[in-house]
Structure 1
Amino acid sequence: MEDMGAERVTEAVADAVAVLRKAVDRDWAGVPAGRLEWSCLRTAEHVAGDLIAYAGQLAGRAQEAYVPFEISLDDGTGAEGALHVIETAGVLFAATLRTTPREVRAFHPYPFRSANRTGFAAMGVAEVLLHTYDIGEGLGLAYEPPAHLPDYVLTRIFPEVQPGPDPWRTLLWATGRGDLPGRARRTEWRWSNNLVLPTERLTLQGVTPASAAELAAGGDGDFEWVEDGPFDGTREAAGMTLKAYEAGVHRPEFGLFVLVRREDGRAIGGMGFHGAPDEDGRAEVGYDLAESARGRGYATEALRALSDWALARDDVRSLCATIESDNAASQRVIARAGYVRASVDEEQAYGELETGLRLYVLPGGAG
């Protein structure tokens, strides 16, 4: 899957400016932007400022905070000038996205304190779409972007939002700007960039609904895989992630992670959870590796990190895994990560296991 962030930002900016330019003869400084407290002119300044700020985060490789700068419109700048600044900021942001390597992550507070180029692109597109809607509402302009633009946003930074038949109406609802039949109106919301867990040799990178759809369909999910990857289990897990997203029950921190080697940026396997913890605080893990990456301790290293992260949470009290009785390699991985074979009582409490499966549990901190 080719990363389309720069193209989506460019398209969103061009579409928005074309609509807003119809009202440049209005007094933007004296008209509020829809239900916002800002004026239309202040909102336009905010859009340009966010695009430049996101470019700065990626270009500056900021890790702990925002790069300490901002832009503002010169005194006396009107609507046409503000649109020119948005166009300029969009070009600079798109250029940054095109030249930022896949593995670069930079600081963003929500919710896991970093984002990659795709996350920043989706946030930039969202700022353009949503605030164009706000400005348009204030100026009496009808605005509806092409459906693939809000879909791009939803499937990358709103993984917890169940998709609807109309991506634009769904995005407006998700950000408290509209209603959807059968869903309570939202009063609080924020972006949700993917979680990344580091280990000595790997990063475990959370898979977005967009990447899950691509992996399940046979693509690369916007990862650079080793030649024999991804393995079948990773594609099946991506399909499970996609089904959970479509059903509105996906919790991204308990979804699929792709294991990426630090030394070359290649994806070597998948690991994650079968779903959120149950009422007893138990979550089930699963994993697989491309054959060329096996036998080097990668799975054990990743499983220890994932297990430690999960068990540090208040909503997880134990972890488990089901492994085929003849899969000696996987049994060695699970044992090295600190899991032990479940007792008969634990297996019975867990439920009926298919013939040939064994249950392994980790009730405390990972080994």
Structure 2
Amino acid sequence: MRPMNGEDVTKAVDGCLAVLGPVAGRDWEGVRGSGLEWSCRKTVEHVAGALISYAGQLAGRPQDAYTPFGIEIDEGADNAGLLEVVRTTGALLAAAVRTTPPHVRAFHPYPFRAADREGFAAMGVAEVVLHTRDVAQALGVAYEPADGLAEAVLGWLFPHVQPGPAAWPTLLWATGRGELPGRAPVTEWRWRNNLVLPAERLDLVGLRPAVARDLRLGGDGGLDWLEGGPYEGTREAAGFMVKAYEGGVHRPEFGVFALVRKEDGRAVGGIGFHGVPDEDGRVEIGYDLVEGARGQGYATEAVRALADWALARDDVASLFATVERENTASQAVLGRAGFARVSEDDGSGAEFAYELRR
């Protein structure tokens, strides 16, 4: 797996300083960043402001808004001094990422009003590499980020974007900065942090493509699993999610979620959708639990949380699930969550079908 971390932020900043440092003596104020309304100077100031803002969000962990502070560059600071500010704010974000516990989230508006440490690291890296490119191109110098950074940003912030033949051109295309053969130009874009749905004792943590790929390949996805996890159903669901991502049809909110226990941060199972809602607003769900977490009501809690979220949407009218005839425990979970059995028990089928309507 390729998780985002503080070292990635440092690597991105080092690359920025390496390419812009040698041209710091040039006029940045009188030249606009490539494709931007800002000058090169203003663009680099924006990078420093974004880095310190993300560090502040992780340190203070506000849940409803940005912490109301900003950054001010000393009057008279030259371009070399501005790059030192970028170095410093990058170091602060890297430190905040390293010291923030897993699954702690703070406010960020896009698109689900929260991000975790990996999300803030990825956003910081994205700000650095994209705007370094904007400034470098405007000043006529070559730039490409360090190996792996563009691919990591795509996997952690652009799960809705089909991977291209190379990561850096794909990231430039996805942010309206370039072209890809066979794809229409991008004129509006947003990155997407993962969705987390809170329940009473659990958080339903949306899996990013990089995490799903690691689970599919037999890894732990960077999660601290209860002994015996993840269950095979979660790995299989992660594999289907990766196929959808690689095929360009993945909708992150209708993906797979890890069930993470709030009391200790341990993953105890998985839940998710088998695809997007059909034209009638019908969508199938599935779930499983690590054996040691069964019999404690976690599955019922997770199904209720997922159903409440889904049925509050305009594009979902009903949820359904299929359960093997012998799996009476799972049938009881669906019953407690409000699902009704809609298949006849005539002994002809291996599974029962359950449905919950809005």
Report if TM-score (shorter chain) is over 0.5. yes
Does the CA-based 8 Å contact 2:212-2:238 persist in structure 1? Answer: yes
Shift in Å at residue 20 of structure 1? 1.0
Partner of residue 259, structure 1: 259
Partner of residue 129, structure 2: 129
SS in 2 for 1:29: coil
Amino acid at match of 2:356: L
Q: What does 1:88-103 align with in structure 2 at a 5 Å threshold?
A: 88-103=88-103
Partner of residue 360, structure 1: 354
Shift in Å at residue 219 of structure 1? 1.1
Partner of residue 11, structure 2: 11
Amino acid at match of 2:153: V
**Aligned partners of 1:341 and 1:12: how far apart in 2?**
53
Matching of residue 65 in structure 1 with residue 65 in structure 2: yes
How many residues align structurally? 356
SS in 2 for 1:82: helix
Shift in Å at residue 18 of structure 1? 0.2
**Aligned partners of 1:31 and 1:235: how far apart in 2?**
50
Deviation per CA, 1:268-326, whole angstroms, max 9, x where unpaired? 00000001101111000000000000000000011001001101100001110011111
Deviation per CA, 1:210-238, whole angstroms, max 9, x where unpaired? 11011111111121111111110111111
**Aligned partners of 2:253 and 2:109: how far apart in 1?**
16
**Aligned partners of 1:20 and 1:66: how far apart in 2?**
29
Amino acid at match of 2:97: L
From the superposition, tell whether residues 156 and 2 of structure 1 become closer, same or farther in structure 2 (CA, over 3 Å).
Answer: closer
Amino acid at match of 1:170: T
Shift in Å at residue 355 of structure 1? 4.7
Overall identity of the aligned pairs, in %: 63
Does the CA-based 8 Å contact 2:9-2:121 persist in structure 1? Answer: yes
TM score, norm. by length of structure 2: 0.97
Deviation per CA, 1:125-170, whole angstroms, max 9, x where unpaired? 0000100010011101111113410111000111100001110000
Amino acid at match of 2:203: T
Amino acid at match of 1:358: F
Matching of residue 234 in structure 1 with residue 234 in structure 2: yes
**Aligned partners of 2:262 and 2:64: how far apart in 1?**
21
Partner of residue 280, structure 1: 280
Shift in Å at residue 3 of structure 1? 4.5
SS in 1 for 2:308: helix
Shift in Å at residue 363 of structure 1? 1.3
**Aligned partners of 2:209 and 2:103: how far apart in 1?**
19
SS in 2 for 1:319: strand
**Aligned partners of 2:200 and 2:160: how far apart in 1?**
30
Partner of residue 37, structure 2: 37
Q: What does 1:174-253 align with in structure 2 at a 5 Å threshold?
A: 174-253=174-253
Amino acid at match of 1:357: E
Shift in Å at residue 72 of structure 1? 2.1
Partner of residue 309, structure 2: 309
Matching of residue 115 in structure 1 with residue 138 in structure 2: no
Deviation per CA, 1:161-207, whole angstroms, max 9, x where unpaired? 00011100000000001111111101111110001111111100000
Does the CA-based 8 Å contact 1:147-1:167 persist in structure 2? Answer: no
**Aligned partners of 2:98 and 2:151: how far apart in 1?**
21
Does the CA-based 8 Å contact 1:41-1:78 persist in structure 2? Answer: no
Does the CA-based 8 Å contact 1:28-1:78 persist in structure 2? Answer: no
Does the CA-based 8 Å contact 1:231-1:288 persist in structure 2? Answer: yes
Deviation per CA, 1:77-133, whole angstroms, max 9, x where unpaired? 221111111111111110111100002100000000000000000000000010001
Amino acid at match of 1:359: A
Does the CA-based 8 Å contact 2:158-2:191 persist in structure 1? Answer: yes
Does the CA-based 8 Å contact 2:281-2:316 persist in structure 1? Answer: yes
**Aligned partners of 1:220 and 1:68: how far apart in 2?**
37
Partner of residue 25, structure 2: 25
SS in 2 for 1:28: coil
From the superposition, tell whether residues 355 and 343 of structure 1 become closer, same or farther in structure 2 (CA, over 3 Å).
Answer: closer
Partner of residue 153, structure 1: 153
**Aligned partners of 1:340 and 1:147: how far apart in 2?**
51
SS in 2 for 1:30: coil
Does the CA-based 8 Å contact 2:11-2:146 persist in structure 1? Answer: no
**Aligned partners of 1:108 and 1:87: how far apart in 2?**
23
Partner of residue 322, structure 2: 322
Partner of residue 351, structure 1: none
**Aligned partners of 1:27 and 1:60: how far apart in 2?**
37
CA-based RMSD: 1.4
Does the CA-based 8 Å contact 1:147-1:166 persist in structure 2? Answer: no
Amino acid at match of 1:360: Y
Matching of residue 294 in structure 1 with residue 288 in structure 2: no
**Aligned partners of 2:257 and 2:286: how far apart in 1?**
10
